[in-house]
Amino acid sequence: MPDYIYCGTKRHAKAGKMQALLVGEFNAIWYPPMARVTPPPVAGERVWLIWRADDQAGPLLLGGGRIATDSEGNALWTNRTLPRVRQEAITLGYTGPLNMAFLRLNSVVAADIHPVDNLGIVRMGLRMATDEQIQVLSRLLPIPE
């Protein structure tokens, strides 16, 4: 079962707002089409949420959790399957169409927002984590089953 890193950037939302959506009522990460560069994750897979600015040396660790699927087994949640999530995202400053999609997580843990060293190159969106990245992130922010 792969583990993932979701990297947001300043183009989409600020670190505190990304973390607020993750640890708030919906336990969600906005998942726009341009962030979908891997096959959709499945239930139970770990995701660490990080944020980086273009001029920032290292990414900031925000939190993490495990992928949850809706009643139809989909990892992508919309306002239909998670009512009011889009409005919450808009309130936090996200922009997007009526059919915005989100990843919803279980076993969510928040991190004290701080830079993470030794992750190597992390591109925007959802990417499979390398073994080295998993070791670093698991030590800093364990995600329970």
Residue 38: per-residue pLDDT: 84
Asked if residue 49 lies in contact with residue 89, where contact means CB atoms within 8 angstroms, the answer is no
30: left (phi over 0), alpha (psi -120 to 50) or beta: beta
Convert 115-127 to b/e letters by CB count within 10 Å (16 or more is b): ebeebeebebbbb
Q: At the top level of CATH, which class does the domain 4-140 belong to?
A: alpha beta
Q: What is the pLDDT along the chain (145 residues), one digit of tens a residue?
A: 899 999 988 766 688 999 999 999 999 999 988 888 888 899 999 999 999 876 666 799 999 999 999 999 999 999 999 999 999 999 998 888 889 999 999 999 999 988 898 998 888 899 999 999 999 999 999 999 8
Residue 123: per-residue pLDDT: 86
Those residues whose C-beta lies under 8 Å from the C-beta of residue 133, and which sit 6 or more positions away, are: 5, 119, 120, 122
What is the separation of C-alpha 41 from the centre of its chain, rounded to a whole number of angstroms? 12
Residue 56: per-residue pLDDT: 67
> What global pTM score does this model have?
0.93
What does the alpha-carbon distance between residue 22 and residue 69 come to, in Å, rounded to a whole number? 15
Domain limits, the chain: 4-140
Residue 58: per-residue pLDDT: 78
Residue 57: per-residue pLDDT: 67
Residue in this structure with the two tokens 């993750």, named with its chain if needed: 22
Side-chain half-sphere exposure of 50, counting CA atoms within 13 A: 30
Strand ranges, E, within 11-70 = 28-30, 46-52, 60-68
